[in-house]
Structure 1
Amino acid sequence: MIYKETESVNDKPQEVPDDKIQENVLRGEKLIARSKKSIQTIILADLFIFVIGIATLSLGSIFFDNLFLIIYPILSLFIFFMLFSTASIYYKWLYHILRNLRKWTETRFFPKDAAIGSLFPCIGQFMTFFIFKDILTQQKKILEEHGIYSAPIPTFLLLTPLIPASALFLFFLLTLGMIKSIQFWAFLVFTSFFFPIIRYVFIFKVLFDIFAIITLLIYMKLVQQPISNEKAIAQLNIDNTNP
């Protein structure tokens, strides 16, 4: 849901402790770095699994077969850990950028509601458009009030999270059409991630990894302008506190 600011906002911007803004700028840069590392991890892990899998099929070695069965779930868990870590940083960054912004101006979303809501599949990606548009609009207003140029709001870029949202929605519809065999499909998906016993179910893991990489790339691009604007606001706050 969309909320209006309930607290009174003074005509003159209230000062936000500069260390809070700078801390969140660093958190945003860490988010981009962690996203890049997650993408690299997924690609390298999949390449390693592919090489071990080919070696197992080609050589017919029991050693490689056992190695494959051990390495596969370990790498899958590591990928999930990296993705969870990235999502956690994103949650904290989004929460704090809204919290800092509300000290300067009105926002349509409460920080915690926006941060939690944006993590929900499909609905979260839809909300992201409105959340980021509001952030960029308010940042632009603050900067331009102080005579600082702010780049135009990239409306098309704000719509890109709908790409993974649409993919998730289509997958949901396909699964819904097979509701009678949902337990069977759940078993196949679980097996494809952690127990590579049935070879042809690897397609689920491949699709998931492609989906994860595309989503990370989209959000890496999406957060760059809000981070850049927040950095400018942090500098503005420093200049205001100087004698």
Structure 2
Amino acid sequence: MQDNYKRGARTVFWTKITLSLSVVFIVLFMFLYRMFQTIEANPDLDAGFLTSGSMLLLFIFAGVCLLLGVSYSIQGLFWLLWMFRAEENLRKITHTTFSPWGAVLCCFLPYLGTLLHFFVFRDIIRHTESELSKRRTGDPSTYAPAVPMNLVIAFFVCGILGSVISFIGENRIVFLVSFVIGFAGAVCYLKALGMYIKEEAELYGIYKDCELRNKVDEVLREREIEKAASEIREIKD
């Protein structure tokens, strides 16, 4: 197994940045939409005001779009790297439903990505918590809290519902409702992911401790064998 906590933490961080920029994007988009509606309905408005005000907002909006694209790309990269290693690590100690590459590729399928990632994420949570329950020792108060499956289900339901609503129509209200539902799902996913990477880190720590103990035991056995062999040689001599 390899340490995956940093990848997970970076994924959480960039997801927060992306969600924040998404809110700014929606606010500016709705404001610009309303402004251009006002311009269209009132052609007698001062042209100078419209030029300076609209151009400034358009430049800000373009900047936010650029930052959002960069943030989304970085977040997606860390997310894919994290998910691949999460599956790869679990495969070293148990059998998962999805392979590392299978999990990554499933999430790229158009329209089915959210549906399939729900099953991928639920699968790695269940296998991780199952392995933790077998390997944990010591004070339960030090254990990482379990991921509430309700958060994962809420992410799935909001993702599907937001996608369905977006196909109903193309008016502003439908777009806004779809975004709010999708945003709520993303927040649930972010919360579940933040809790899961702590469980993942705990399992990695237990695995490395066990690996270290096995190495120490092996060294001690080798020394005992060498000692026994040396004693036998002395007796023969």
Q: TM-score, normalised by structure 2?
A: 0.68
Alignment of 1:97-112 (within 5 A): 97-112=86-101
Structure 2: runs of 5 or more not aligned: 40-44, 217-237
Cα distance change on mapping 1:39 and 1:129 into 2, 3 Å = closer
Aligned residue number for residue 149 of structure 2: 155
Aligned residue number for residue 36 of structure 1: 16
Q: Displacement, 1:52? A: 8.1
Letter in 2 for 1:91: L
Q: Displacement, 1:87? A: 2.4
Q: Displacement, 1:115? A: 1.8
Counterpart secondary structure, 1:108: coil
Name the larger-Rg structure: 2
Aligned residue number for residue 226 of structure 1: 196
Q: Displacement, 1:229? A: 1.5
- Kept in 1, the 8 Å contact 2:107–2:114? The answer is yes
Aligned residue number for residue 164 of structure 1: 159
Say whether residues 1:66 and 2:55 are aligned partners. Answer: yes
Deviations 1:26-76 (A, max 9, x none): 111111111112222233455567778889979941222222233323322
Counterpart secondary structure, 1:223: helix
Q: TM-score, normalised by structure 1?
A: 0.66
C-alpha distance in 2 between matches for 1:202 and 1:229: 41
Higher relative contact order (CA 8 A, sep 6+): 1
More helix by share: 2
C-alpha distance in 1 between matches for 2:127 and 2:197: 13
User: Percent identity between the aligned chains?
Assistant: 18
Aligned residue number for residue 13 of structure 1: none
| RMSD value, Cα | 3.2
C-alpha distance in 2 between matches for 1:65 and 1:153: 46
- Kept in 2, the 8 Å contact 1:136–1:226? The answer is yes
C-alpha distance in 1 between matches for 2:68 and 2:182: 10
Alignment of 1:42-191 (within 5 A): 42-46=22-26, 60=46, 61=49, 62-148=51-137, 151=145, 154-160=148-154, 161-172=156-167, 174=168
Q: What number of residue pairs does the alignment pair up?
A: 198
Structure 1: runs of 5 or more not aligned: 1-15, 176-184, 186-200
Q: Displacement, 1:232? A: 0.5
Deviations 1:111-165 (A, max 9, x none): 1111221244542222233222221221122222223466556332221222122
Q: Displacement, 1:225? A: 3.2
Cα distance change on mapping 1:108 and 1:45 into 2, 3 Å = closer
